[in-house]
């Protein structure tokens, strides 16, 4: 049987076994966990779900507290270390005029021809390719914003790894998927950073305030086409998503509600990084939304939505599915909604109640969550006690290959969760991630310095041709067009004289300009010392080492056969059962063993 298929079956067996363990009747019980039932195992579970896991020392410290003290430390940061971490360090890629970036390259050229300039760059008054500087600037910003967004993702991942207040970042990760916004459409890393900082600052605060700030944020306004939502021609994108995805869920509103709400949001727009209300584009007429009629404006519609009981039910169940387990039944969904309403949509008290509940520690909740790619990487590095996210393997490319690239959710619905993360192909990729951590790829090419994306080959081809002495038209001609013929050479020279701009050259030059300005991502490797790690833990034999690694990394205990197989493998690799005697050469064997352990299905769960 295929190994991935067999391991998928193991995962399914783990999930299906959970109900059989539910003898305590804690499932669905939102009353607080008794202090006498607090344990190291439950402290580890809390750190997994309210953060990104913990080291043995961190787990032990949390286990020494009462459950209420432990939860309050994570939710309210009581007794936690100072959470001040370095702010994002901009590369300085933004330039005046870029805020007026048209929606496409053709639109930019049309504007430049009409006005004599676009995105802060003037058209050349004479000479060949008068529009080329504008084209270059257009592609420069697309490249620079994408590269800077890559740096932004690294900055955030490092906060997830290092923050003594991990729930702040875990909650921001939830909101990033809930209010899914992608740089691909926003095309401005600054707006994405602004939204992320909002999630970090207010993610545990009042949902109404957060929702209004997100709705008025330039990232969301750009993503959901606020600029074309004007009176007499309302655009329904934002009104539909705020009801369907952000607050109520499908089936709890009518198409009439959507159309009327869209009218209420007319005039909402932004200038640069600031919200702007354009009164002359707002429909001031009477509107009826969810049974309420009046000369409604956007915030009033938000308040009407929040008054609907289904809104709290929907939001509470979304939060619960992310932090506890998927698909609460109808009764629990209602009770969670009531709890959120009782807390007046204050997220921190709601999270405190959930993390203290017996339901959170029920057998069905423990080790039932399939780690998302971001959780997988960050929790691995955290358990390895690294101080920074390594540059090799690349965090962004690895999480993207596993199905989740920060700042690029696939749709407004965010990412599919749960079993979607562990297809046969993705299980192989997850194992390869671990391999790349313990044995880094010596052929690694930094994607922020070397154009390896879809058009990368074309960009390298243009550069090589220019270095060979070709003119721009010849250097940018697509492959396979008979570049050495005299007829083609004559045509190229004619085009050289007549064209307003060269798109392929603009793409090439834009990449060069971006690389020149965007700071490189540090490409450090993970500095591992597994030998010291296991010896300092008191391990003396291969079985001791396997048990320690299992306790450190795995939430689902291995069966005895799997544990013994790993110990036998390590013993064979070491050539001895005396771990201390093998200390001078044990590192490679321990890394191989760790790769095997972390590639197992049990490690995909937390």
Strands 274-277 and 268-271: antiparallel
Angle ∠(596,163,174) on CA atoms, nearest 5: 80
The tens digit of pLDDT for each residue in 308-355 reads 999 999 999 999 999 999 879 999 999 999 999 999 999 999 999 999
Residue 453 has pLDDT above 70, yes or no: no
Query: Which tokens hold the place of 57?
Result: 């020392």
> Residue 53 and residue 393: Cα distance in Å, rounded?
20
HSE-up (13 A, CA, CB side) for residue 512: 11
Taking the C-alpha atoms of residue 220 and residue 75, their distance in angstroms, rounded to an integer, is 27
Q: What is the pLDDT of residue 22?
A: 40
Give pLDDT, residue 19.
Answer: 43
Q: What CA dihedral angle connects 308, 310, 311 and 315, to 10 degrees?
A: 160
Give the strand pairing for 287-289 and 274-277.
Answer: unpaired
Q: Structure tokens of 341? A: 């309403």
Using DSSP's 3-state secondary structure scheme, residue 525 falls into strand
Burial bucket for residue 1 (CB in 10 Å: 0-12, 13-18, 19+): exposed
The pLDDT tens digits for 55-88 are: 999 999 999 999 999 999 999 999 998 878 999 9
> SS3 of 231, please?
coil
- 35-55 mean pLDDT: 98
pLDDT at 477: 86
Beta bridge partners of 206: 346
Residue 461: predicted pLDDT = 87
Virtual torsion, Cα 410, 412, 413, 414, nearest 10 deg: 50
> DSSP letter at 432?
H
494 pLDDT tier (thresholds 50, 70, 90): very low
DSSP 8-state symbol, 369: P
**Helices (H) then strands (E): counts for the chain:** 28, 6
Structure tokens at 114: 């009409």
Position 12 pLDDT exceeds 70: no
**Cβ contact 140:510 at 8 Å:** yes
Q: What is the mean pLDDT of the chain?
A: 92
Angstrom distances, CA of residue 2 to CA of 14, 184, 264, 423: 19, 37, 56, 13
Determine the distance from the C-alpha atom of residue 156 to the mean position of all C-alpha atoms in its chain, rounded to a whole number. Answer: 9
Local structure of 256: helix, strand or coil: helix
* Gap between the Cα atoms of 157 and 167, Å rounded: 13
Q: What is the mean pLDDT of residues 109-123?
A: 96
Cα gap 8→3, rounded to integer Å: 9
Q: What pLDDT sits at residue 51? A: 98
Q: What is the DSSP letter of 578?
A: -
Residue 226's SS3 state is: helix
User: How large is the angle between the packed helices 166-178 and 40-50, nearest 10 degrees?
Assistant: 50
Q: How far, in Å, are 63, 180, 373, 586 from residue 533 at the CA level?
A: 21, 39, 25, 11
**Domain coordinates in residue numbering, the chain:** 530-604
| Res 456: pLDDT | 72
CA dihedral 403→409→411→414, nearest 10 degrees, is 90
- Asked if 262 contacts 242 with a C-beta cutoff of 8 angstroms, the reply is no
Name the residue among 168, 153, 160, 171 with its Cα closest to residue 318: 171
Structure-token match 């700042």, residue found: 407
DSSP secondary structure code for residue 346 in this structure: B
Spatial separation of the C-alpha atoms in residues 281 and 229, rounded to whole Å: 8
Percent of the chain with pLDDT over 90: 84
For 142, the enclosing helix (H) or strand (E) is: helix 132-162
Cα 363 to Cα 65, 234, 324, 369, distances in angstroms: 22, 49, 11, 12
Mean pLDDT to the nearest integer, 296-309 = 98
Q: Which residues of 520-553 are buried (b: 16+ CB within 10 A; e: fewer)?
A: ebeeeebebebbebbbeeebebbbbbbbbbbebb
Peptide bond into 393 cis (omega under 30): yes
Give a three-class secondary structure readout of 305-351: HHHCHHHHHHHHHHHHHHHCCCCCCHHHHHHHHHHHHHCCCEHHHHH
């Amino acid at each position: 049987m295929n190994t991935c298929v067999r391991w998928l079956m193991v995962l399914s067996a783990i999930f299906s076994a959970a109900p059989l363990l539910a003898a305590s009747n804690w499932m669905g019980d939102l009353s607080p966990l008794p202090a006498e039932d607090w344990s190291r195992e439950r402290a580890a579970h809390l750190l997994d779900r309210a953060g990104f896991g913990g080291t043995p020392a961190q787990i032990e410290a949390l286990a020494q507290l009462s459950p209420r003290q432990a939860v309050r430390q994570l939710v309210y940061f009581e007794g936690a270390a100072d959470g001040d971490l370095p702010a994002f360090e901009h590369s300085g890629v933004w330039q005046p005029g870029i805020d007026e970036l048209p929606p496409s390259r053709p639109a930019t050229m049309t504007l430049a021809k009409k006005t004599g300039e676009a995105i802060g760059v003037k058209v050349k008054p004479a000479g060949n390719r008068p529009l080329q500087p504008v084209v270059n600037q257009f592609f420069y910003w697309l490249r620079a914003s994408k590269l800077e967004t890559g740096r932004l993702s690294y900055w955030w991942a490092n906060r997830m790894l290092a923050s003594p207040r991990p729930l702040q970042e875990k909650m921001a990760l939830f909101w990033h998927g809930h209010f899914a916004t992608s740089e691909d459409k926003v095309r401005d890393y600054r707006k994405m950073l602004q939204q992320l900082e909002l999630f970090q600052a207010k993610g545990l605060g009042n949902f109404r305030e957060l929702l209004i700030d997100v709705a008025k944020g330039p990232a969301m306004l750009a993503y959901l086409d606020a600029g074309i939502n004007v009176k007499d021609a309302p655009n329904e994108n934002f009104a539909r998503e705020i009801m369907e995805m952000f607050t109520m869920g499908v089936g709890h509103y009518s198409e009439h509600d959507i159309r009327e709400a869209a009218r209420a949001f007319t005039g909402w727009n932004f200038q640069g990084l600031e919200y702007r209300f354009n009164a002359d584009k707002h429909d001031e007429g009477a509107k009826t939304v969810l049974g309420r009629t009046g000369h409604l404006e956007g915030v009033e519609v938000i308040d009407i939505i929040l008054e609907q009981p289904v809104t709290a039910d929907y939001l509470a169940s979304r939060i619960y599915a992310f932090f506890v387990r998927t698909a609460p039944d109808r009764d629990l969904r209602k009770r969670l909604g009531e709890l959120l309403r009782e807390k007046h949509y204050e997220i921190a008290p709601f999270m405190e109640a959930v993390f203290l509940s017996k339901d959170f520690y029920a057998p069905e909740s423990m080790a039932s969550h399939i780690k998302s790619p971001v959780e997988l990487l960050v929790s691995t590095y955290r358990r390895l006690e690294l101080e920074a996210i390594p540059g090799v393997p690349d965090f962004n490319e690895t999480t993207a290959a596993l199905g989740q690239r920060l700042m690029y959710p696939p749709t407004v619905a965010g990412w599919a969760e749960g079993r979607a993360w562990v297809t046969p192909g993705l299980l192989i990729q997850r194992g390869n991630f671990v391999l790349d951590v313990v044995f880094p790829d010596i052929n690694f090419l930094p994607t922020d310095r070397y154009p390896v994306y879809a058009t990368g080959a074309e960009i390298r081809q243009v550069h090589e041709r220019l270095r060979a002495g070709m003119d721009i038209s010849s250097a940018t001609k697509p492959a396979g067009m008979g570049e050495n013929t005299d007829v083609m050479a004559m045509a190229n020279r004619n085009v050289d004289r007549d064209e307003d701009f060269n798109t392929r050259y603009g793409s090439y030059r834009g990449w060069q300009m971006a690389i020149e300005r965007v700071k490189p991502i540090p490409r450090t490797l993970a500095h591992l010392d597994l030998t010291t790690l296991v010896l300092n833990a008191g391990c003396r034999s291969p079985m001791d080492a396997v048990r320690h690694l299992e306790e450190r990394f795995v939430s689902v205990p291995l069966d005895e056969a799997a544990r013994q197989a790993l110990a036998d493998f390590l013993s064979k690799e070491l050539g001895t059962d005396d771990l201390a005697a093998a200390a001078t050469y044990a590192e490679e064997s321990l890394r191989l063993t760790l790769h095997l352990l972390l590639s197992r299905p049990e490690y995909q769960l937390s």
